[in-house]
Amino acid sequence: MTLFKLLRILIVTYTVCVLVICIELGEVATRVHPGLRSPTPEEPADSIAQSTGGQWRKAETRSFDGTLLSGWLFTPKQGNGHAVIALHGVGDTRRGVLGLARMLVRHGYMVLTPDSRGHGISGGDFITYGVLERKDNKAWVAWLDATVHPKNVYGLGESMGAAILIQSLPEEPRIKAAVAEASFHTFEEVGYERVKQVGLGTLVPWPMLEPSFLYARLRHGVNLKLASPSAAVRQTKTPILFIAGTADHNIDERHSKELFREAVEGSGFWEMPGVDHVQAFSASPKEFERRVVDWFALHQ
């Protein structure tokens, strides 16, 4: 075998391997493992209702494309007339924000905890990190308006939920104020960071990531590069409280810092030293509760 033939075989083999990895990356990024899509047991909802003296009910609505979305609505015994939509992170379900729901119900807020599209029992075969989900959030606001007629609607998001919340704000001005913990600046940026973190494309990440974006676009018809809280935060007048931990190993705090710099005047930033990804409530529950409740009260 000549050196030229050997080199050609190596190039072809490398190309095939890269394409296989890129397809796998595209699938992993846009689909939740089936084992994580089981329904959330109703016992936690019963527990929240019992401990707060309130009630809960199932919530369903359809998004712009007909996708059926599912969640729970918690109603306090003595409410203040305001509602909060609490959005979970990637690979999670409504169960991931139930602790926050309990906290807010105790302060008189109605709290909606949806399963994001492609998660839990909500419809959707794939996830888009805000490209489609921002319109889902708009559908939920409309559902709240039609169902419980809140005085104001607020939003609280964790990680991907924070990014979705931010991206929904330009399209949904009825959200009076928002709290976003550990959002990414753009999905493209965090994608490149993840590829480097796992050791793929450490020196030249482009060949590993760009074909994955292309695969997602061809396979699902969605351009994930449009998942951009950065673009949204510069278009909205809604004030946002950004929360970030300095020890976040999932989404570096610089994403939240950059979003805060781009946000409307009057937004806030809470930096938590030594705190990892979406661990603010666990690390400092009383301080978290005070800041979030005060933030919503400030914008009533």
| 134 has pLDDT over 90 | yes
Residue 266 lies in a domain: yes
- Using a pLDDT cut of 70, give the percent of the chain over it: 83
245 three-state secondary structure: strand
The span from the CA of 208 to the CA of 195, in Å, is: 8
| 198 has pLDDT over 70 | no
Asked whether residue 152 falls in the same domain as residue 233, the answer is: yes
How many residues does the structure list for the chain?
300
The span from the CA of 258 to the CA of 277, in Å, is: 17
Asked whether residue 121 falls in the same domain as residue 231, the answer is: yes
Bridge-based pairing of strands 55-62 and 83-87 is unpaired
| 12 has pLDDT over 60 | no
pLDDT at res. 85: 98
pLDDT at res. 8: 55
Average pLDDT over every residue of 184-211:
71
Asked whether residue 118 falls in the same domain as residue 178, the answer is: yes
Cα 37 to Cα 90, 157, 169: the distances in Å are: 12, 20, 27
The secondary structure element, H or E, covering residue 176 is strand 175-181
Q: How many CA atoms lie within 13 A of 169 on its CB side?
A: 30
Average pLDDT over every residue of 62-66:
96
Closest by CA position to 185, among listed 248, 266, 117, 93 = 248
What is the domain extent for residue 243?
54-186+227-298
pLDDT at res. 38: 77
Residue 43 lies in a domain: no
288 three-state secondary structure: helix
